[in-house]
């Protein structure tokens, strides 16, 4: 009876600790006027969590800040404002991480939302797995007020091979993970890189040349350097908007830059062929985009790299005839 009472008290203390462990939620935002509705919803999704000990840090990193919106945010007693001189998502993430005082830290885009008990579930996972540096979960895409589909495609995801799954599809959205701050350095988020390959810089606007930050690259470093646990529960909503597309030239060039950055991490040789195959596919997609823009030289350059990046790249050889035909048509 006495032992049972002590066991009950011990369990209560552990559960209380799990609920009250300080958690910092960093919300990067440009604080432009058109973000007001989104960011209010994002903050509300955090304040409605079951955890009572949450620190919300809104990191303002834009160049077109709406001071009226900033004043509205500042009135919320639960929010700590972080005004940043240097712009960019990466800077907001790194500086938000630096000032966070929580034992655990997570990030939330200003147009996304946490679901109920999201933080609690991940804190519990990290308390149960004391050697884990991060816990991540599934979530949902939401469009026009309706849930569309889960974030993680289970046919391409293996929780026992997170790095391999990452090469299929990024499973770690910005709000998917909760990090143990004592185990993870801000270096994880210091992943500046530029798309400077093949002499294309002069054709690209600065926002494409300097990508600055990639959750895919950060996730690759995370799983190669740390133990990560998967909590198989939906914990967040990614709000998709009609003007977002993964088929743009910038998306293909970013993918090429990220894959080259991941390759520089020197992953196990069993993954290298997959990386090369993905590079071939992305170079081919970029070649198609350049060709549609009438920039034949860049189209030919990316076509060449689609062929030589992997053995499987030879499948794109017939496209060479299409490039020649369009070039001759222009002549």
Write down the domain spans for the chain. Answer: 2-193+214-240, 268-330
pLDDT value of position 326: 84
Distance, in Å, from the CA atom of 195 to the CA atom of 260, rounded to the nearest integer, reads 10
Listed residue (80, 127, 110, 240) closest to 175, CA to CA: 110
For the entire predicted model, the pTM comes to 0.85
Distance, in Å, from the CA atom of 63 to the CA atom of 77, rounded to the nearest integer, reads 25
pLDDT value of position 331: 54
Distance, in Å, from the CA atom of 239 to the CA atom of 37, rounded to the nearest integer, reads 12
pLDDT value of position 323: 93
Q: Which residues touch 82 (CB under 8 Å, ≥6 apart)? A: 57, 58, 59, 60, 92, 95, 96, 99
Pure H helices in the chain: 2-20, 36-47, 67-74, 89-99, 118-128, 162-168, 206-209, 215-225, 249-263, 269-292, 296-308, 319-330
Residue with tokens 């004391």: 130
Listed residue (18, 28, 103, 45) closest to 235, CA to CA: 45
Listed residue (159, 170, 145) closest to 233, CA to CA: 159
Q: How far is CA 272 from CA 71, 164, 267, 269, in A?
A: 50, 10, 7, 5
Under-50 pLDDT residues of the chain: 1-19, 198-203, 205-207, 209-210, 245
pLDDT value of position 4: 40
Q: How far is CA 274 from CA 89, 219, 286, in A?
A: 29, 17, 18
CATH of 2-193+214-240, one of 3.40.50.2300, 3.90.550.10, 3.40.50.720, 3.30.200.20: 3.90.550.10
pLDDT value of position 69: 93
pLDDT value of position 14: 36
Q: Are 328 and 320 in contact (CB under 8 A)?
A: no
pLDDT value of position 249: 81
Tokens of 189: 């988020």
pLDDT value of position 250: 81
Cβ atoms within 10 Å, residue 122: 25
């Amino acid at each position: 009876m006495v032992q049972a009472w002590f066991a009950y008290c011990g369990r209560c203390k552990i559960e209380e600790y799990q609920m009250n462990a300080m958690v910092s939620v960093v919300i990067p935002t440009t604080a432009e006027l058109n973000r007001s509705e989104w960011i209010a919803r994002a903050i509300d999704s955090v304040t409605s969590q079951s955890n009572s000990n949450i620190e919300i840090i809104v990191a303002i990193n834009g160049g077109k800040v709406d001071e009226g919106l900033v004043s509205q945010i500042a009135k919320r007693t639960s929010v700590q404002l972080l005004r940043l001189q240097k712009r960019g998502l990466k800077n907001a993430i790194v500086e938000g991480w630096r000032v966070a005082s929580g034992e655990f830290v997570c990030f939330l885009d200003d147009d996304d939302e946490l679901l109920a008990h999201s933080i609690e579930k991940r804190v519990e996972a990290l308390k149960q797995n004391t050697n884990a540096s991060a816990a991540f979960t599934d979530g949902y895409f939401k469009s026009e007020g309706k849930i569309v589909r889960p974030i993680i495609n289970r046919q391409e995801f293996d929780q026992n091979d997170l790095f391999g799954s990452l090469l299929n599809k990024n499973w770690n959205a910005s709000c998917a993970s909760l990090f143990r701050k004592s185990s993870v350095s801000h270096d994880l988020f210091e992943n500046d890189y530029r798309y400077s390959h093949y002499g294309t810089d002069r054709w690209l606007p600065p926002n494409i040349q300097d990508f600055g930050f990639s959750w895919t690259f950060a996730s690759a470093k995370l799983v190669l350097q740390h133990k990560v646990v998967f909590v198989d529960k939906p914990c967040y909503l990614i709000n998709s908007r009609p003007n977002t597309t993964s088929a743009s030239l910038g998306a293909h060039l970013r993918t090429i830059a990220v894959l080259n950055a991941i390759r520089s991490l020197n992953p196990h040789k069993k993954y290298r062929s997959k990386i090369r195959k993905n590079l071939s596919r992305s170079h081919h997609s970029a070649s198609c985009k350049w060709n549609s823009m009438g920039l034949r030289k860049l189209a030919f350059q990316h076509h060449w790299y689609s062929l030589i990046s992997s053995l499987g790249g030879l499948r794109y050889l017939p496209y060479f005839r299409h490039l020649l035909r369009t070039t001759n048509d222009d002549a």
